């Protein structure tokens, strides 16, 4: 099963999702919670994240979409981005780099 | 037909706007001093039970989500959530309550929240106070509130020009009002006594070239608006990225050819989280 990386608000996170980026929560300069990348989230670790006011995490999850649905969603996102940037001069390198960065983030 | 109104007449009208919550200015003036901030918050809690109720409501949504017991007073909320988070909740809630007194709040709020969160996230990368950045982002379009409050018909014409005919917002405003919302926002923000760099961010977020080079808050408010529009936060047909000011890139030292998924993901996810807490 393919996976995809997502940045999710904590209320959308479920046990079994794999942390892609480590989470380090510090309070008053002291590390109070540290979760390593590669670990699967559990009920307990999600509760800990909530208790320490974490708002989001970067996880990978199984991509349960069919190939057709995935391609349709990516095409829809690409079309939407083209609309948003339709008046932008993408020959300008800084604007092109910004557009490409947003595409890389959105088209998954 | 544009209203027969001049920019210099605007200061006289600001007193007729709904009262701006003074606690915002007080908290921004005391950001380095938690004791002063706590006093400002306490004074506000004593005199505005409606806003206090909304602050507690937002705090309790967060606490419920965190699996903690709800609280009935701001002081207990401070002890459970921490003063810096409560200060963020107070600033955002006060601006939500304020904008709700305007007829165009639905149009205004989602976009302002996205820009506020983006500015707050960018602030960490350029050593700007995050609460000041949050407020600058939340209030960057306050000139449009003035337009919609005093001239709702002309404001609707502007929206129509932008949303249906794809006209650039500042050009449409100049046509219908003779001035842009950044110019109005500057006057209104000055009247409210907001900090100078917040006023500059409100004034110049559509015309950042010169000011962004001198003022990081202008640059990051402008960049936050580009990001909110590029990520379509919130989804609305008018989100556009047309031009980018080079001065912003230079001031923020942002190189978009590097991987910025973490920044975009943080803004995207924090926006969804805040939408759950504040709307």
pLDDT, tens only, B226-274: 999 999 999 988 899 988 888 888 889 888 999 999 999 999 999 999 9
Inform me whether the pLDDT recorded for B105 exceeds 70: no
Q: At what angle do helices B152-163 and B142-150 cross, to 10 degrees?
A: 120
Do B26 and B129 belong together in one domain? Answer: no
Do B117 and B231 belong together in one domain? Answer: yes
What CA–CA distance (Å, rounded) separates B126 from A87? 29
φ, ψ dihedrals at A32, nearest 5°: -110, -15
Do B67 and B140 belong together in one domain? Answer: no
Model confidence over B59-103: pLDDT tens digits? 888 888 777 888 888 888 877 777 778 888 888 988 888 888 776
Model confidence over A83-95: pLDDT tens digits? 999 999 999 999 9
pTM assigned to the model: 0.90
Higher pLDDT, A24 or B36: A24
Taking an 8 Å cut-off on Cβ atoms, the answer to whether B270 and A95 are in contact is no
Residue B67 belongs to what domain range?
A: 19-98
Q: Which CATH class is domain A3-62?
A: alpha beta
For chain B, what is the domain count? 2
Do B86 and B131 belong together in one domain? Answer: no
Do B273 and B189 belong together in one domain? Answer: yes
Q: Measured between CA atoms, how close is A69 to chain B, in angstroms?
A: 21
Q: What is the mean pLDDT of residues B25-54?
A: 75
- Among the candidates B52, B76, B98, a domain finishes at B98
Indicate the DSSP class of residue A4: E
- Among the candidates B98, B121, B137, a domain finishes at B98
Residue B183 has what pLDDT? 96
Contact partners, residue A31, CB within 8 Å, separation at least 6: A24, A25
What CA–CA distance (Å, rounded) separates A54 from B85? 11
Q: Is residue B6 part of a domain?
A: no
Do B51 and B181 belong together in one domain? Answer: no
Q: Which of B3, B63, B5, B17 lies closest to B188, judged by CA?
A: B17
**Smallest CA–CA distance from A9 into chain B, residue:** B269
Inform me whether the pLDDT recorded for B1 exceeds 60: no
Do B199 and B228 belong together in one domain? Answer: yes
Query: For residue B6, how many other CB atoms are within 10 A of its CB?
Result: 9
- Report the largest interatomic distance among the alpha carbons of chain A, rounded to a whole angstrom: 49
Residue B201 has what pLDDT? 95
Is the ipTM here above 0.90?
yes
Please name the member of B81, B230, B242 whose beta carbon is closest to the beta carbon of A102.
Answer: B230
- Among the candidates B79, B98, B117, a domain finishes at B98
Substitution target in B64, B232, B249, B254 with the highest count of A β-carbons within 10 Å is B232
What's B225's domain CATH number?
1.10.3210.10
Do B71 and B137 belong together in one domain? Answer: no
Please name the member of B67, B256, B276 whose beta carbon is closest to the beta carbon of A94.
Answer: B256
Q: Is residue B12 part of a domain?
A: no
Do B258 and B161 belong together in one domain? Answer: yes
Locate B207 and state its tokens: 């015309």
Q: Is residue B5 part of a domain?
A: no
Taking an 8 Å cut-off on Cβ atoms, the answer to whether A95 and B244 are in contact is yes
The reply to whether B229 touches chain A by the CB within 8 Å rule is: yes
Q: Is residue B163 part of a domain?
A: yes
Inform me whether the pLDDT recorded for B2 exceeds 60: no
Query: For residue B148, how many other CB atoms are within 10 A of its CB?
Result: 22
What CA–CA distance (Å, rounded) separates A26 from A52? 9
The reply to whether A94 touches chain B by the CB within 8 Å rule is: yes
The reply to whether A33 touches chain B by the CB within 8 Å rule is: no
The reply to whether B62 touches chain A by the CB within 8 Å rule is: yes
Residue B69 has what pLDDT? 84
Residue B87 has what pLDDT? 84
Model confidence over B143-189: pLDDT tens digits? 999 999 999 999 999 999 998 998 999 999 999 999 999 999 999 99
Low-confidence ranges of chain A (pLDDT < 50): none
Query: For residue B276, how many other CB atoms are within 10 A of its CB?
Result: 16
What CA–CA distance (Å, rounded) separates B208 from B29? 25
Residue B63 has what pLDDT? 84
Do B141 and B225 belong together in one domain? Answer: yes
Beta bridge pairs of residue A4:
A61
């Amino acid at each position: 099963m393919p996976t995809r990386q997502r940045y999710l608000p904590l209320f959308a996170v479920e046990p079994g999702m794999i942390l892609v980026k480590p989470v380090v929560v510090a309070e008053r300069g002291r590390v109070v919670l540290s979760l390593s990348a590669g670990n699967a989230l559990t009920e307990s670790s999600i509760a800990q994240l909530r208790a320490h006011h974490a708002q989001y995490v970067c996880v990978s999850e199984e991509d349960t979409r069919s190939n057709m649905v995935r391609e349709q969603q990516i095409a829809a996102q690409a079309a939407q981005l083209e609309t948003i940037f339709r008046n932008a001069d993408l020959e300008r390198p800084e604007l092109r780099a910004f557009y490409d960065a947003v595409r890389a983030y959105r088209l998954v | 037909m544009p209203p027969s109104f001049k920019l210099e007449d605007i200061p006289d009208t600001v007193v007729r706007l709904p009262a701006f919550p003074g606690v915002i200015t007080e908290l921004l003036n005391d950001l380095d001093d938690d004791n002063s901030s706590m006093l400002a918050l306490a004074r506000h809690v004593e005199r505005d039970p409606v806003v206090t109720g909304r602050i507690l409501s937002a705090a309790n949504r967060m606490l419920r989500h965190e699996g903690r017991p709800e609280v009935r007073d701001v002081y207990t909320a401070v002890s459970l959530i921490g003063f810096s988070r409560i200060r963020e909740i107070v600033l955002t809630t006060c601006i939500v309550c304020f904008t709700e007194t305007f007829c165009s709040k639905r149009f205004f709020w989602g976009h302002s929240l996205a820009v506020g969160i983006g500015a707050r996230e960018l602030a960490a990368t350029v050593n700007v106070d995050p609460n000041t950045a949050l407020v600058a982002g939340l209030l960057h379009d306050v000139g449009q509130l003035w337009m919609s409050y005093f001239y709702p018909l002309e404001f609707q014409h502007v929206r129509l020009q932008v949303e249906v005919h794809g006209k650039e917002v500042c050009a449409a405003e100049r046509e219908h009002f003779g001035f842009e919302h950044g110019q109005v926002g500057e006057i209104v923000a000055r009247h409210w006594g907001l900090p100078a760099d917040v006023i500059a961010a409100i004034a110049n977020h559509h015309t950042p070239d010169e000011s962004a080079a001198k003022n990081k808050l202008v640059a990051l408010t402008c960049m936050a608006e580009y990001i909110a529009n590029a990520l379509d936060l919130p989804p609305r047909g008018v989100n556009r990225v047309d031009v980018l000011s080079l001065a912003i890139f230079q001031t923020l030292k942002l190189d978009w050819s590097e991987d910025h998924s973490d920044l975009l993901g943080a803004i995207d996810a924090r926006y969804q989280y805040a939408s759950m807490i504040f709307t």
